[in-house]
Chains A and B, each alone.
Chain A
Amino acid sequence: MAHADDASLHEPQSFWTRYVWSQDHKVIAIQYACTAIVVGLVGVVLSNLMRLQLGFPGQFEFINAERYYQFVTMHGMIMVIYLLTALFLGGFGNYLIPLMVGARDMVFPYLNMLSYWVYLLSVLVLIASFFVPGGPTGAGWTLYPPQAILPGTPGNTWGIILMLVSLVIFIVATTMGGLNYVTTVLQARTEGMTLLRMPLTVWGIFVATILALLAFPALFVSGVMMLLDRTLGTSFFMPALVSMGQVTNYKGGSPLLFQHLFWFFGHPEVYIVALPAFGIVSDLISVHARKCIFGYRTMVWAIIAIGVLSVIVWAHHMFVAGMNPYFAFFFATTTLVIAVPTAIKVYNWLLTLWRGDIHLTVPMLFALAFVCTFVIGGLTGLFLGNVSVDIPLSGTYFVVAHFHMVMGVAPLLVVFGGIYHWFPKVTGRLLDDRLGKLHFWITFLGTYAIYFPMHYLGVLGMPRRYHNFDGYQFIPASAHSLNVFITVAALIVGAAQLLFLFNLAWSAWRGRLADANPWRAASLEWQTPTTPPRHGNWGPQLPVVYRWAYAYSVPGAPQDFIAQNAPPEAGSAEPEPYEAKGAPA
C-alpha cells in the first residue's frame, strides 16, 4: 500500500490557487457540485415548461412542438449526465473517497483539477446549443438516428453537433476523473484500510466509476460516428433514405447499430447513478439507526454483481426496436436476474433497520424515502424487463414513470440525504432542521404523487414524447385531468427546491455550529483533526485503521459507535458472526 505523504502538504497560498485552480479534492468536489446543481436547476425549469404544455395544452403559445421536443431532450440529457453522473462521481466521489480511505488527496490532483474544468467546458458547450441557429436538438435524450440529423427534427443542423461535441468533452472529463477515483481507492488507502473495511459509499462509487470507464467509450463511439454522419456525410448509422421528399446520399448504415452502442453505454449509465446512491444509503441508514449494515460482505458482492451484470442487459431497451427477436430471450433473462442482487440490497437495508435504534433525522428520512421509491421503481422495472409485458408498455408513460422513479426520484432523495448528512463535515455547520423537514415532506410526497399515477397513464397506452393528445378518442378526459394534477404537483415540487437552496446558502453562512462528528459516525471521514478538513486532511500523521466502518452498538463498548481509527483495544476489529452476538468484545 502506498503512502502519499509529502507532496500534498504544500498549502496553496493565493485566492486563485485555493478556490479556483485548486487541486484540493474537496474544493474540486464543491465546484462539481455547484455546477451540477446550477445545470440541474435549468433541467428543472425545462421540465416545468414541459409539464405546463402537458397539463394545459395549447395555453402557452411559445411552447410549440419544436420547443417542446427541445425541452424534452435537454431536460433528459442534463439530468442524467450533467447532473446525476457529475454530482455522484465528481461531487460525492471527489469529496468523500480520500477522506473515507484515509488519503491526503486524490493520487492525481492536477488531473483532478483538469477534469472539473473540462466538465465545465462540456456544460458551456451544451448551454451554447440553446443559442445556435435552429436551437438545441429535439431528438430526445436518446438522440436516435436517422431522425436526429435530418430535417423534421429540431436542431438537426447545429444543435445536434453541439450536443455530441459536449458529450465527447464530458466523456474526456469523466475518464480523467474516473482514473483518479479508481487509482486512489486501489493505491492510496491508509494503513489498516483494507478493501473490505471501506464504507459502502466508497464501494458504490468505486464500482460505478469502473463501469463509467468501460461504458462511456460506447457513447463516445456512437457520438463520434453520428457526428461524422452529420458533418462529413458518412453512413455509419444512415441507411439509404428519402428525407422530406429528397433522396439523400446515405447508404448502408444501420440505425440499430447506434441503439446497441447507445444502450451498451446507457444501461450501465443508470447503474453509474444508482450504485453510488446504494452505497450512500447504506451509510445513512447504518449511522442514523446506530446499527451496523446487515450483511456487509453480501452488500459488496451485490454491488459488484450488479455492476458486472449491468453490462449484459442493455437490449431490454430495444425489445421493440426491430432487432433480431431472438435476442430478447437472452436480455429478458439477464434483466430479471439482475433483480436478485438488487433485491438483496433492499432486504439488507430493511434488516439494518430491524432491531436498530432509529433516529428520524433529516438524512434518515431521505434514506427511508429512497427505499420506498426505489422499491416502486425497481418493481416496475420488472414489468419492462419481461419482454412480453414490455411490448404494449414501451414508448408509453409507464416507461417515463418507471425511469423517473428509479433514476430521478430515488437517487435524488439520496443526493439530498447525503448533503444533509455531510454538510456539517464540509462547512462545520448544520443545515436547518425545520427547513430540511419541510423540504423533505414536499419533495417525497410530491414526487410520489407525480409519478405513481403516471404509471397508469402508461398502462392505458398514453404515448410518451407527445406534444399534444388532441383528438385521441381512446384517451379519456379523466386522463387529461390527471395530467393537470401531475403538472400542479410538479410545479410545487420544483418550487420547493428553492427551500433547499436557501437552506444551503443560509446555513453555510449562519447555520448552527456543529461539532466534528455530530452524527457520531464511525467511518474515517468524520475523524479528521479539524472540521472542515484542512488541505491534506489529516495533519502531519495519517490515520491508522483498526476495524471496519460499521462498529455501531457493539455489545460491551462504552459508546454506541467505535471510530475506525480508534485504538485496537476498543475492539470490534471484524464483525463477529451473528450466532456469537452478545458475546463480550
Chain B
Amino acid sequence: MSMAVAILVIVAASLLFHFVSPWWTTPLASNWREMDHTLTITLVITGVFFVIINLFVVYTLLRYRHRDGHRAAYAPDNRKLEYWLIAVTALGIIALLAPGLVVYADYVRAPRDALVLEILGQQWQWHYRFPGASGKLGGSDARFVSAANPFGLDPADPAGQDNILVSGNEVHLPLGKPVKVLLRSHDVLHDFYVPPFRARMNIVPGQVSTFWFTPTQAGRFEAMCAQLCGVGHPNMRGHVVVEDDAAFQAWLGAQPTFAMSMAAPRGAAPSAAPGAVVDAQARGKALAQSRGCVACHTVDGSPGVGPTWKGLYGTTRTFADGTSAPADEAYLRRSIREPQAQVVKGFAPIMPPAADLSDDELAALVAYIQSLASPAPAALTQKAQR
C-alpha cells in the first residue's frame, strides 16, 4: 500500500515540480528555436510514457496485492499484445527521432554567407580571430605558438596578415547575421558553450571543428568551457556581446591585425604621473579579469590554483628549488612573462606565459598587484593550496 502511495506521490510531485520549478532553458538568443521544439516534443512524449507506466504500476499494486486465498493468474505470453506494444513504441521513437534529425540536418550545414569567427581555446582563456578584408583566415600551427603569437599563426602566410586578433575573453558579434564558428586549440580539449545560443561544439587540438548559429538577441552573454580541461576549467570564462552592425564594425575596427601585432614596438615606458598610477591600477584590474588571470589568482587572500595576489608585493617568496627572493617589481614582471623560470614552492608549474602583453599592459598589471600589498609588507609565508 505504501509503495503504491509513494509512486503516486512521486508522479504527482514530479509533474508539479516540472511546472513549478524556475529551472528550465535560458531564454533563447539564437536561431535554434527548433532545438527547443524538439526538446519539448521529447519531454511530452517521454512524460506521457512516464505517467502511464507509473500509474499502471500503482494500479497493479492496489488491485493485485497479496490477499489470502487469492492466486496469481497464469499468463506466460501474449504474442499479439507484444507486437502491438512494439509497434506503439516504434511509433513513439520515430516521432522523437524524425524531428531531431531534421533539425540536425540544418545544424551540419552552415549558410554560405556566414560571418567566420575562429575561437581559440587555450588553458585557461579564450582568444578570437576574424578574417580581415581578404576574407580568409591564415594558416596556424602549434609550432608557431609563442608568447608573442598565441594564435600560432604562420608568419609566412600572406592570408594571415590581415586577420583581426581579439585578445581578452570578450568577443562581439553583429545581431541577426549567421556566424560560422571555427574552433581550434593548441593544447587540450575545450568547448565554447553559451547556453542561450544552444549551439556548441568541442574543440580538439590537431583539427578544426565547427558549428553555426545566428544571434537574435542583443546583449552580453556568458560563455563557459564545457569540456574538462584541467584545474582552471571552471574559471575559463568568456563573454559574447551581440550588438547592431554599426557598433560591431566599430569594435572590430579597433582590434589589431596580425601584422600590426607582430610589428608592435615593445618599448613604451610606463607613465609616471600620479593620476596615471590610479588609471594603471584600474587598467590592470580590468586586464586581470579579461586575460583570465583571476582564474587562478585570487585577490582576497583565499587559496586558489596559484598564489593569491593579496599581500604578495614586497614579501619574500620561496621557490620550489629552495631559493628565495623578494617579490619586487622585477620579480612580478618576470613571473608574468616567464612563469616557469621560478615557481613558488607548493604550487604546480602550470601557469601559461602571458600572451602578447605590451609593456604598457604589463606595467598596469604590476601596478594592480602592487596595490593589493599589505600595509606593512612582511615576509608572509604564502599558504599553498595543497
Q: A residues touching B (Cβ–Cβ < 8 Å)?
A: 58, 61-62, 64-66, 69, 138-140, 144, 146-147, 150-154, 239-247, 252-256, 289-298, 320-322, 325-326, 328-329, 332-333, 336-337, 339-340, 343-344, 346-347, 350-351, 353-360, 365, 368, 371-372, 375-376, 379-380, 382-383, 386-389, 391-392, 394-396, 441, 444-445, 448, 452-453, 456-457, 459-461, 463, 465-469, 471-474, 476, 478-479, 482, 550, 552-555, 560, 575-578, 581-582
Contact = CB atoms under 8 A, between A and B. Distances in A.
Contacts of B56: 350
B222 A456 contact: no
Contacts of B183: 322
A292 B72 CA distance: 9
Contacts of A356: 60, 64, 72-73
Contacts of A456: 17-18, 21, 23-24
Interface string B85-100: 1100110010011001
A460 B305 CA distance: 28
B86 A376 contact: no
Nearest to A256: B204
A332 B186 CA distance: 30
Given A242-B152, A354-B60, A357-B64, A389 B23 contact: no
- Report the 7 A-B pairs with minimum CB-CB distance, sorted nearest first: A239-B206, A461-B195, A152-B230, A575-B76, A322-B209, A386-B100, A456-B23
B46 interface: yes
Interface stretch (B33-41, B258-266, B270-278): B33-41
A365 B61 CA distance: 11
Contacts of B35: 388-389, 391-392
Contacts of A289: 64, 72
A342 to B, nearest CB: 9
B93 to A, nearest CB: 5
Contacts of B50: 375-376, 379
B49 A395 contact: no
B73 A291 contact: yes
Interface string B23-34: 111100000001
17 contacts: A64-B304, A64-B386, A140-B228, A241-B188, A244-B351, A339-B93, A351-B81, A355-B64, A355-B75, A356-B60, A360-B3, A368-B61, A371-B53, A391-B107, A473-B222, A478-B23, A576-B74
Chain B: interface residue count, which band?
35 or more
A235 to B, nearest CB: 10
A153 B96 contact: no
A332 B100 contact: yes
A453 B6 contact: no
Contacts, number: 361
A72 to B, nearest CB: 9
B305 A65 contact: yes
B302 interface: yes
Contacts of A293: 76
Contacts of B14: 452
B227 A241 contact: no
A322 B76 contact: no
B60 A383 contact: no
Given A144-B189, A375-B54, A387-B104, A478 B22 contact: yes
Nearest to A152: B230
Given A445-B6, A457-B23, A560-B72, 19 more contacts: A65-B234, A65-B305, A146-B188, A153-B230, A241-B187, A245-B352, A253-B206, A290-B71, A292-B76, A332-B100, A351-B81, A355-B72, A382-B42, A392-B198, A460-B23, A474-B195, A550-B76, A553-B74, A578-B79
Contact of B38 (A140, A320, A389, A472): A389
For A360, A376, A463, the residue with the greatest tally of chain B CB atoms inside 10 Å of its CB is A463
Given A242-B187, A460-B195, A295 B46 contact: no
Nearest to A348: B82
B106 to A, nearest CB: 8
Nearest to A254: B206
B348 interface: yes
Given A355-B73, A387-B100, A388-B103, A146 B385 contact: no
A472 B93 contact: no
A289 to B, nearest CB: 6
For B24, B73, B79, B222, the residue with the greatest tally of chain A CB atoms inside 10 Å of its CB is B73
A321 B186 contact: no
B206 to A, nearest CB: 3
A241 B186 contact: yes
A84 B200 CA distance: 33
Contact of A359 (B23, B66, B141, B232): B66
Contacts of A256: 204, 207
B201 interface: yes
Contact of A463 (B49, B207, B226, B350): B226
Nearest to B35: A388
A241 B142 contact: yes
B231 interface: yes
B352 A368 contact: no
B121 to A, nearest CB: 12
A448 to B, nearest CB: 6
Given A289-B72, A294-B76, A355-B75, A328 B10 contact: no
